[in-house]
Structure 1
Amino acid sequence: MSRSPGSRRPTDPLKAAEAAFKSATTKPVEGPPKTSSIPGVKETVTLRIDQDVLEHFQQDGRGWQDRINAALRKAVGK
């Protein structure tokens, strides 16, 4: 029994790779955003950022977390 050259693989490798990438990088559908019960409440989180980025925001002293927050707000368009 002979096989045709394309019969060893059931799918095109490029299409399979693109589908795998899309499924791994597609943001899952989420429900409505959570609203805080108190406006302006900040949440404590752990965030890993590059050392040089951290140094950039810390170079002006106190308030570096507020500066990072402002930069992130600007990045998301708020």
Structure 2
Amino acid sequence: MKKTLKRIDAITDKDIAAGIAKDSDAAPVLNDLSDFKPAIQFLKERAGRGPQISPTKERITIRLSPEVLEYYRATGKGWQSRIDQALKETISGVDQ
């Protein structure tokens, strides 16, 4: 493997240009880029989530027992929201 890396490192720009010139499938190199347009003109805008409805949830890290995770993950998509709902129900009866 080291011999291959040495060979790749030994290739000069001149060697690369010569290889491209020999390749009939290689597109010609364009030095005049004035006809090019920015890619942003052709790309669609990425869809995002957009602004969240208040109050937004806060991202945190929490450590839960394996049994709790196994139970909620087994309930399928939305398992984190179900944990959130269970915690809300726990504090709903507590005087604040």
TM-score (norm. length: structure 2): 0.40
TM-score (norm. length: structure 1): 0.48
Greater gyration radius: 2
